[in-house]
Amino acid sequence: MESLNLEFRPLPTANTSYHVIPNFQRLRRKAYRCHVSLVHEEDDSLSAIVLNLPGAGSCGNTEEEVLENLREAVLGVIESHIEAGEDIPWLGLDEYEVPEGTNTKWIIVNA
């Protein structure tokens, strides 16, 4: 179980009692819903792209590995756009096509 970082601050009264203010930064995380296309390559590896986020793709030897790598790629693409002061270019379902012969799944990437 993940523990909360706690910060102790004095109460705004004359006594020396303390109260706990949870660090809610952890709770302000965003979750991104990504539509993923998985392709089995000829060398038995896997490639994956996020259909609704241009520029996010990765590869790996197992589905677990490729999805973990893809999560990192998604965070990198999002961070790049934010640092550049740009909107994240999410695509709607009607703005992309699913490549034929691929498996798709939805994943959640927490930032």
Which domains are assigned to the chain? 29-110 (3.30.160.250)
CA dist., res. 37 & res. 31, Å (int): 19
Kindly report, residue by residue over 1-55, the tens digit of the pLDDT. Answer: 444 444 444 444 444 333 444 444 444 578 999 999 999 999 999 999 999 999 9
CA dist., res. 14 & res. 46, Å (int): 63
What is the identity of the amino acid at 24? F
Q: Once rounded to an integer, what is the mean pLDDT over residues 69-76?
A: 96
Residue 6, pLDDT score: 44
What is the identity of the amino acid at 70? L
Question: Any alpha helices (H) in 1-111, and if so which ranges?
Answer: 63-83
SS3 at position 87? coil
Half-sphere exposure of 34 (CA within 13 A, CB side): 31
